[in-house]
Chains A and B, each alone.
Chain A
Amino acid sequence: DIQMTQSPSSVSASVGDRVTITCRASQDISSWLAWYQQKPGKAPKVLLYAASSLQSGVPSRFSGSGSGTDFTLTISSLQPEDFATYYCQQANSFPYTFGQGTKLEIK
């Protein structure tokens, strides 16, 4: 199975800050990476797919980059509703695997 490792596991930031989360795959996954946001008690919601494609309806302050094994999710200017846990997921091969999550907290 492909292992997905996210860093950091948690980050504190303020409204208006720029935040970057990284995700590393244990082997080459091309660009087949998705990012999800999850709020307590809710299902994950897809933000980006194919590493950098924004899912319909997702604000443009979310962006993604990377290919191969190293990927980043950037939130350009944090809004109050962005405080949540973020997960990466590889869709290159089965089984799908997820990162362990990055909790974004209010400073």
Chain B
Amino acid sequence: QVQLQQSGPGLVKPSQTLSLTCAISGDSVSSNSAAWNWIRQSPSRGLEWLGRTYYRSYTSKWYNDYAVSVKSRITINPDTAKNQFSLQLNSVTLEDTAVYYCARAISNWYPLDYWGQGTLVTVSS
């Protein structure tokens, strides 16, 4: 059974960096088929996919895809030693206040089948 456990601060000051981690059990961040995603949810923006990281053994490379809306501010990194992945969102504003989720997708066209518990991140001074 796959489980995703999120951790990270719930309060971030404007202009600072939001950092969250998603620890994986029951699967590997280096899986050759899965992709590891971050999604956020707010009343104003609904559910918004932010980006993903994934590994493909046929190229021995890691890949990232990011939403255009956050592309200049976001980094998603895998940590193979700890079997987890992280989200960093720079230069946050009040509009980045949301519940942030990590989630797995088994392939490009398949759903987000396992989700973390969610982390409410409030941007406030």
Within the assembled complex, what's the spacing in Å between the Cα atoms of A12 and B13?
A: 40
Size bracket, chain A contacts:
20 to 34
Interface string of B22-51 (1 = CB under 8 A from A): 000000000000000101000000111100
Which residues of B lie under 8 Å from residue A98 when comparing CB positions? 46-49
What does the 1/0 interface line of B85-118 toward A look like (CB < 8 Å)?
Answer: 0000000000000000101010011111101111
CB-CB under 8 A for A91 and B108, given A100-B46, A101-B46: yes
Query: Which B residues lie at the A interface, using CB under 8 A?
Result: 37, 39, 46-49, 65, 67-68, 101, 103, 105, 108-113, 115-118
Q: A43-B101, A43-B116 are in contact. Are A49 and B111 (CB under 8 A)?
A: yes
B109 and A44 form a contact (CB under 8 A) = no
Q: List 29 A-B contacts (CB under 8 A).
A: A32-B109, A34-B110, A36-B111, A36-B112, A42-B118, A43-B101, A43-B117, A44-B47, A44-B101, A44-B115, A49-B111, A49-B113, A50-B109, A50-B110, A87-B47, A89-B111, A89-B112, A91-B108, A91-B109, A91-B110, A94-B65, A95-B49, A95-B65, A95-B67, A96-B49, A97-B49, A98-B46, A98-B47, A101-B47
Q: Tell me what chain A mostly uses at the interface: helix, strand, loop, or mixed.
A: loop
The answer to whether B111 and A34 have CB atoms under 8 Å apart is yes
Please report which residues of chain A, range 79-104, place their CB below 8 angstroms from some CB of chain B when the two chains form the complex. Answer: 87, 89, 91-92, 94-98, 100-101
Given the known A-B contacts A43-B117, A94-B65, A95-B68, are A34 and B112 also in contact in the complex, defined by CB atoms under 8 Å? yes
| CB atoms of B111 and A46 under 8 A apart | yes
B-side contacts of A36, CB under 8 Å: 111-112
- Which residues of chain B are within 8 angstroms of A55 by Cβ–Cβ distance? 111, 113
Contact (A91, B111) CB under 8 Å given A43-B116, A97-B49, A101-B46: yes
Contact, CB under 8 Å: A43 / B113? no
